[in-house]
Amino acid sequence: MSDSTKKDYSALREKVLGIKEAEDWSHSRLASEIGRPAGTVSNFLNGTYAGDNEKLAADIEKWLKSREAQARVRAQAATSPDFIPMPTSIRFLEAMEYAQSLSEIVVVSGEPGVSKSSAIDHYKETHSNVWLLRMEPRVKSMTVFLWELCEIMGIDPSGHRGRLTAPIRDKVIGCKALLGVDEAQYLSADHLNQLRAMNEYWGLGLALFGNRNVHARIEGKRRDPAYSQFYSRIGMRLNINKPTEMDMKMLISAWGIEDKHETGLLCTIGSKPGGLRNIDKTLKLATTAANGSGVAVNADFIKAAYERLSTALN
């Protein structure tokens, strides 16, 4: 293509540079958003890209359209309420306060949707010397486990590869600290005994939150030497199978729903497996749809949202 017939991409460049400046992005971040190498995007924006400018411009246009579509969805999307001091949430907070204040071990089990994770997050945000580890199935070796602990505690483990427990000890000892572990059902016997040692020798409070398998594994194997030492040091056990009616009504009210029929419908949804999470996700979807239609949430929006999330209401 001759110089006289080359396409002018100046308007596109100006638009992209405007977004980059408004978002305060680096070239690398911008390129990552677009899905092209940083050097390629930088050269295009400078007008020095020697490759297929038309193809690259098409990719950028595609990204811009996707960005605009996402902005429209976000503008209509509803957001979940901030932490709500529901009765069950308060029980979780009290368990963590007990563990931190007295350097104890508490084990909390519950079905999904009883506000465990939100309570842990709230406690971490409102108390000092609290760290939260969300366990994953991939964390199997002790080295990876300790590395994860260092990371959440803001410790640089690079100088302690031979003994990762040393910087953790220095961080927690003498400060009435608490380690909360979410998804604790993924902790192995070795993980549990390492945590038990941290509690026993350094006074690190422990609050282990997980599904029903947490109690089943620890209590079912309490005669197993690999578990017995940890089992005997548990200072509190708490098992919550489902949210209370007050939990559900407080969450529903926090979403701005006061109608008795709609509240009853949502309580029915909350009584199913998934509990409070069912209510929150249903109302998020229902409110987003209602916002898009310019009307308030009603029972029809709630039913339609839940049917999209699960099976039809019985």
**Structure tokens that stand for 279 in this block:** 């209510």
Instruction: Tell me, yes or no, whether 159 and 229 share the same domain.
Output: yes
- Residue 137, amino acid: P
In a domain, 82, yes or no: no
Please tell me the least confidently modeled range out of 31-35, 45-49, 214-218. Answer: 214-218
For residues 212 and 130, membership in a common domain is answered with yes
pTM summary value? 0.77
Domain hosting 291: range is 245-309
Per-residue pLDDT, averaged over 85-99, amounts to 96
Query: For residue 230, with 0-12 CB atoms within 10 Å meaning exposed, 13-18 middle and 19 or more buried, which class applies?
Result: buried
> Which one has a higher pLDDT value, 100 or 314?
100
Q: Which residue has better confidence, 243 or 214? A: 243
pLDDT (0 to 100) of residue 189? 87
Average confidence (pLDDT) over 204-232? 75
Domain final position from 190, 207, 240: 240
State residue 3's pLDDT score.
46
Total number of domains in the chain? 3
Q: How far apart are CA 207 and CA 92, in angstroms?
A: 9
**Cα(143)–Cα(165) distance, integer angstroms:** 10
Do residue 52 and residue 107 come from a single domain? Answer: no
- pLDDT tier, 160 (very low <50, low <70, confident <90, very high otherwise): low
User: Residue 22 pLDDT more than 60?
Assistant: yes
Q: Residue 207 forms beta bridges with which residues?
A: 106, 180
Range with lowest mean pLDDT among 3-12, 98-107, 190-199: 3-12
Residue 4 has pLDDT above 50, yes or no: no
Q: Are residues 180 and 95 in the same domain?
A: yes
279-314 pLDDT, tens digit each: 999 999 999 999 888 899 999 999 999 999 875 445
Give me the mean pLDDT over the 153-170 stretch.
Answer: 84
In the structure, what pLDDT confidence band is assigned to residue 75 with cuts at 50, 70 and 90?
Answer: confident
pLDDT at 228: 72
Same domain? 10 vs 122? no
Q: Quick one: pLDDT at residue 214?
A: 77
Rounded percentage of the chain residues whose pLDDT exceeds 90: 69
How confident is the prediction for the chain on average, in pLDDT? Answer: 89
59 belongs to a structural domain: yes
Q: For the domain that residue 100 is a member of, what is the CATH number?
A: 3.40.50.300
Long-range contacts of 118-122 (CB under 8 A, 24+ apart): 118/83, 118/89, 119/83, 119/89, 119/92, 119/93, 120/92, 120/96, 120/180, 120/182, 120/207, 120/209, 121/83, 122/83, 122/89, 122/93
- Inter-CA distances, 152 with 49, 115, 137, 274, Å: 42, 22, 17, 28
Over residues 251-269, mean pLDDT: 95
How much is the average pLDDT of 207-217?
82
